[in-house]
Structure 1
């Protein structure tokens, strides 16, 4: 009897163990899926339960187009151009027809061009498209909803059409977006000079790109769409070339490959890999915005982010013989050659021009780095160094001076000049941590803090690309400790000379003391796409062409209520490492705070003539000696009287003595 009980007990234990293992595996397999109870952000139009079987959307045999040109691929063409266009982009299509897409014979080769569209739910817009098709006969409209996340469907339909109707009449296919400028003659010359008309997939090659997990990005890729760590190498979808045999291979592969919403990754990466097609790099296909230079576009194959007016302007200039001669002979660059462009503009050495281009990232903010503020800012974590009696007194203005851990001279200069103790103002220096954690630097900081009681050191690495974290920390400290003690908060860099008397006068005389966000406004600023710039921003981080209006980050001032608003909205906004754009542009826009422009906040370099500009509040790009000398000129009243011809020659380089420049 006892042996039977033991057997039953053993079997029960084994059963429970097996059940536990199976449940663990089930939980592991369903983690992050909608039915697992975990939150997941889906791709619009492609949620977890939407079929991604290509054949469900693209019928392999039937002609499915809603609008179809009468003579599609009836005539032999050396090059077929398929322009992927949005239904409402009439102006872009018109500009292309009138410019680079106008000619049908180039260098003795036939060229044909068609626009590929999806469907729209707007009946009026659809009517205009049908009229456009009747007039020009170059519109193909397939039966799928035209949207960014359906661009993959658009390109699969393109491959189907080319494979079904153009295989015997066309040599090459150029897929291009409608915001691109194409320099047709160099493209045709390159194709004409090839030894073979097969086995070609060419464009701007991107290697080892990783899926973006930031849900606010237009390139967001959830695990259920792509479970791997790295994409296969692919070419930018803004424009790429392929031979027709490759188009057929890619189409067949697409019918067997689950749809992935990022078109270039899917067509030229996933499908190309399945088809055994290796994409080739050509740096003259460009997708990044560059400073406008018509001589540059004379040599490139493609250029991205062109408005219809840009397309017309560039085409007109390139057709002007005087302009092309000027580019060739009078620019001081030998023939403005392709080699020169690749070495000096595209930064590609000719012997390595077929090497892969790795996506450029901002230091510290790679594609897989979280941009959720909660992962970096905690209200419960105490700063590494914190002053005693912080925000215990009621005053008008709290000044946070953003300083780097090793800028001892700058802090000393500020304490001796405009940062001296005074009524109604408190000054604190906000620092991050040393990346290298040098023990002697930290000891020196602690000594400095004990001596002056004005150092706050937060727990993040102090670097230029972490300035946003520094400002969010500033807002956190104000919200937690100071909101009832101060009317205003000022953010100031440690290379700024502040005319504190003028600034206090401005604040005391204000009739409106709430909803204030004051500084030097920048309007219409474009992101820097040059990867060598300290302000470089890749498209996947900020895809728009223009930043929202924002205040110069050297100095800005806000009322206490605005500081609270910006702090809360910072937690709802993915971190953007250009600090002033994030805090005073993105967050203020979400918080519905109106920026106030005041040109007494000077943000430009070489403005060191404090006597001439003594009415201003802020002077930027001042070193420690400049700060001390500027203070002497103003406080010691060494400046000449207003209106004197000498006033322009008194500057912070004069070490506090009179310097007259004899011109």
Structure 2
């Protein structure tokens, strides 16, 4: 197995211009020790080498002069889903800047049991420079570890002045609408009387892109694949959480979630665990988890749709978004 590491990209120049005063948040109601599963990386995302085309030069100039918010969009993807990843690269993943939002896209992939698939992923990473390929089995039961792996990499490589999103590879994202959500929330937090002297991104909420769940009960039926025992989770209901197909959070919160996570105690339902239980243990109450203000993601659930159907609709939606950007004369590239 090839074990070369690609140099991580640096987004330090594309951040909000605010003061950073971060203190680690701990929950007064839990004494759970920090016991993270450490992942190694087979390949890591790199800073893309730009060709000297007029379009790319114009895009870099646009980002340098007007960027106010930086987002890293982590797309979790099964190892053999090469075509699904390419569809995203050619549609919503081709957008790197829109309406003041600078975007980098990273595909998060675990190790396949098929060595030929692993070799193809390494070649894919070398070609595109956008794959976080980590050394742990890529299975549905290990989905919670996939999210933990991306949180580990983000905690090690990204500034707390960054926003991240976790997205499935069967989700189409409207980045124009996402930029509006982020700007509105940023302005609301900035204007809050008690937050004027604090780092705005420290107070940024978790945003549910597809579903915001309140009052869900743990599945106690042992025959159900989502069964959760009393030993795993004793309370009668879950805290509010975002459905896992897509959610958005500030890097400061993502790092706190990663720091508090224990691998032996995690639920298999990664969305419940990370956006609900751990967030709640951090003392981030339900006022810090919000629904989207403007719809910015559509989930074409893999189990209910074919790849051909998803590709057709994702490409059509991308063209509609580009047309709207062109007609509205909103800066994008």
TM-score normalised by L of structure 2: 0.68
Determine whether 1:91 maps to 2:66: no
Residues 1:280 and 2:275 are matched in the alignment: no
Aligned residue number for residue 229 of structure 1: 236
Change over 3 Å in CA distance of 1:303–1:321 after alignment to 2: closer
User: Partner residue of 2:247?
Assistant: 240
Cα deviation, residue 322, structure 1: 11
Q: CA deviation at 1:109?
A: 2.7
CA drift at 1:318: 5.0
Matching of residue 171 in structure 1 with residue 162 in structure 2:
yes
Cα distance in structure 1, aligned partners of 2:96 and 2:274:
27
Per-residue CA deviations over 1:368-398 (Å, capped at 9, x if unaligned) read: xxxxxxxxxxxxxxxxxxxxxxxxxxxxxxx
Change (3 A) 1:78 1:257: farther
Unaligned runs of 5+ in 1: 1-51, 285-298, 326-663
Cross-structure match for 1:109:
101
Aligned residues: 254
Contact 2:163–2:250, Cα closer than 8 Å, also in 1: yes
> Are residues 1:188 and 2:188 paired?
no
C-alpha distance in structure 1 between counterparts of 2:145 and 2:321, whole Å: 42
Partner deviation per Cα, 1:420-442 (whole Å, 9 max, x = no partner) = xxxxxxxxxxxxxxxxxxxxxxx
1:171 Cα offset (Å)? 2.0
Aligned twin of 1:249: 256
Q: Deviations over 1:466-520 (max 9, x none)?
A: xxxxxxxxxxxxxxxxxxxxxxxxxxxxxxxxxxxxxxxxxxxxxxxxxxxxxxx
1:65 corresponds to which of 13, 25, 41 = 41
Map of 2:207 onto structure 1: 202
In 1, the alpha carbon distance for the partners of 2:153 and 2:145 equals: 12
Question: Does 2:121 correspond to 1:129?
Answer: yes
C-alpha distance in structure 2 between counterparts of 1:103 and 1:323, whole Å? 13
Q: Would the alpha carbon gap of residues 164 and 212 (structure 1) be closer, same or farther in structure 2, given more than 3 Å must change?
A: same
**1:216 Cα deviation from its structure 2 partner:** 4.0
Matched residue, 1:503: none
RCO comparison, higher one (Cα < 8 Å, 6+): 2
Aligned to 2:134, what secondary structure does the other structure show? strand
Please state whether the residue corresponding to 2:44 is helix, strand or coil: coil
User: Structure 1 pair 276/123, CA: closer, same or farther in 2 (3 Å)?
Assistant: same
For residue 340 of structure 1, what is the aligned residue in structure 2?
Answer: none
Q: Check 1:54–1:155 CA distance in 2 against 1; reply closer, same or farther (3 A cut).
A: farther
Match of 1:138 in 2: 130
Quick check: 1:301 aligned with 2:293? no
Please tell me whether the aligned partners of residues 53 and 258 of structure 1 are also in contact (alpha carbons under 8 angstroms). Answer: no
Query: Is the partner of 1:223 in helix, strand or coil?
Result: coil
Do the aligned partners of residues 78 and 221 (structure 1) sit closer, same or farther apart at CA in structure 2, a change above 3 Å counting? Answer: same
2:93 and 2:176 map into 1 onto residues whose CA distance is: 11
Q: For residues 322 and 166 of structure 2, what CA distance do their matches in structure 1 show? A: 32
| Structure 1 residues 389-408: aligned runs within 5 Å | none
- Deviation (angstroms), 1:251: 1.2
Flag structure 2 segments of 5+ consecutive residues without an equivalent: 1-31, 49-63, 188-199, 326-333
**TM-score, normalised via structure 1 length:** 0.36
| CA deviation map 1:550-588 (0-9, x unaligned) | xxxxxxxxxxxxxxxxxxxxxxxxxxxxxxxxxxxxxxx
Post-superposition offset of 1:53: 8.7
| d(CA) in 1 for partners of 2:323, 2:220 | 46
CA positional deviation for 1:265: 0.9
Contact 1:65–1:142 (CA<8 Å) still a contact in 2?
yes
- Alpha-carbon distance between aligned partners in 1 of 2:277 and 2:225, rounded to the nearest angstrom: 19
1:201-600 pair list within 5 angstroms: 201-203=206-208, 204-255=211-262, 258-278=265-285, 279-283=288-292, 300-305=295-300, 308-309=307-308, 310-317=310-317, 319-320=319-320
Distance 1:134 1:312, change over 3 A: farther
> 1:317 deviation in Å?
4.6
Q: Which residue of 1 aligns with 2:53?
A: none
| 8 Å CA contact retained: 2:240, 2:289 | no
Q: Distance in 2 between matches of 1:141 and 1:236?
A: 24
Q: Distance in 2 between matches of 1:188 and 1:91?
A: 27
- For 1:58 and 1:236, how far apart are their aligned partners in 2? 25
Alignment check: 8 A CA contact 1:82 1:173 kept: yes
CA distance in 2, matches of 1:302, 1:223: 34
Report SS of the residue matched to 1:96: helix
